[in-house]
Chain A
Amino acid sequence: MTPAHALDALTARLAVAADDAGLLDVAFTTVDTPVGPLLLAATPEGLVRVAYATEDHDAVLQSLADRISPRVLRAPARLDAAVRQLEEYFAGRRTAFDLPLDFRLSAGFRRDVLSHLREVAYGTTASYAALAAAAGSPRAVRAVGTACATNPLPVVVPCHRVVRSDGALGNYVGGTAAKRALLTLEAAA
């Protein structure tokens, strides 16, 4: 084995040993999708972050180190189910995610909005105003927009299904092209 391969093997072994020892506070991996590479990160409680490349994966990992724990390692095993379900989703073979989710990166009203997002079914859309009403604050339309823009779990928590009341697409954390791609995928399936 070359030294680089030896180090890769040792690093992979370290991730497994760290998980066994209860020291893997944040496990991450990346998955290639039609909307670009997605970073997936999970705590022992569940999936805690999905990030588009436009968010800068290194910056996202640093923010996970700051906000959760610096014990962050590439450890794909913890994300096997998430990767598999995302691949099925992008292949049009999955309409809902069945994964433990860790919402610790979202709090208060934003977290309420995210929980209501799960009621917006695959292949449908809801307006920012309708979601504000569902969250019990019909006038908080802009705050719903902020909640969607700061969704720590895009794709899995479907903020891409929230559009403007006038029919326009609205902004998206992964960019409007990604939002359009997801809605097109869901409409076709």
Chain B
Amino acid sequence: MRLEPFEAVVRRHGATVLRVCRAVVGPDAADDAWSETFLAALRAYPELPPGSNVEAWLVRIAQRKAVDQLRAAARRAVPVADLPETPSRTGLPGEDDGELWAALAALPDKQRAAVAYHHLAGLPYAEIAALVGGTPEAARRAAADGVAALRRRYRGELS
């Protein structure tokens, strides 16, 4: 097994990592989290054992960068602007789907992370447990509780 050119890694996994970053830190800070994730990944890439699960590796890095972002945001403590009232037409969180992002942002950290990693990044619960701590069963419960809370708070359709 050989390592692919990093360009191919960005092409294949860039969209998933961006979805995870948006879910965890919100659409505004997501671009910076994405950039820091891939820059850190590029730095470490030559030492990645060939055959590794590249997506899980990237999501682990994104998790660390997202935590850094949330800490920095907490220090800055910027007041929140009014949230848009436009209902979703697609059921998927898009760029302008402020309502779903707001609902996602309102979840407790563990639920939001579990929803993002399982439903957006497609990671198994065992992998999520390794990322956020706790057991796979706890991660499964957090994701289920998070989706249930989203269904209550969000008027659009969830896919």
Contacts and interface: CB of A to CB of B under 8 A. Distances in A.
Q: Do A and B bind each other?
A: yes
Interface of A: 1-3, 6-7, 10-11, 13-14, 17-18, 21, 23, 26, 28, 61-62, 64-66, 69-74
Given A10-B18, A10-B31, A70 B4 contact: yes
B84 interface: no
A70 B18 contact: no
Interface stretch (B5-13, B68-76, B138-146): B5-13
Contact of B6 (A3, A7, A66, A70): A70
A80 B18 CA distance: 29
B5 A11 contact: no
Interface of B: 2-8, 10-11, 14-15, 18, 31, 34-35, 38-39, 42-43, 45-46, 94-95
B46 A70 contact: yes
Given A1-B95, A3-B18, A10-B18, A70 B3 contact: yes
A28 B39 CA distance: 17
Q: Is the interface of B mostly helix, strand, loop or mixed?
A: helix
29 contacts: A2-B95, A3-B94, A3-B95, A6-B18, A6-B31, A7-B18, A10-B31, A10-B34, A10-B35, A11-B10, A13-B35, A14-B39, A18-B42, A21-B39, A21-B43, A23-B39, A23-B42, A61-B7, A64-B5, A65-B3, A65-B4, A65-B6, A70-B3, A70-B4, A70-B5, A70-B6, A71-B46, A73-B7, A73-B10
Given A7-B14, A71-B45, A62 B5 contact: yes
